[in-house]
Amino acid sequence: MYDKLVKELGEDALETHMDYVRRKMVDYSNDKKNIVKYLSISAKQYLNSRLSKQQMKE
């Protein structure tokens, strides 16, 4: 998923996304242990929102 994000949006978009994830994970608790699922969903949502914004500009 992150390879697709970089391919579609570039390295800067990946860095922006990871900074966002780092800030938001403060509330991530031991009860929520599936970090892979969290990152996958987060990347998909970010990719979809950025691609949608790009399409609106065109």
CA gap 4, 58 in Å, rounded: 21
Contact in structure between 4 and 46 (CB atoms under 8 Å)? no
Contact in structure between 51 and 5 (CB atoms under 8 Å)? no
pLDDT band at 58 (very low <50, low <70, confident <90, very high): low
Contact in structure between 21 and 39 (CB atoms under 8 Å)? yes
Express each pLDDT in 8-56 by its tens digit. 888 998 898 888 888 877 565 666 667 788 888 888 888 888 877 776 6
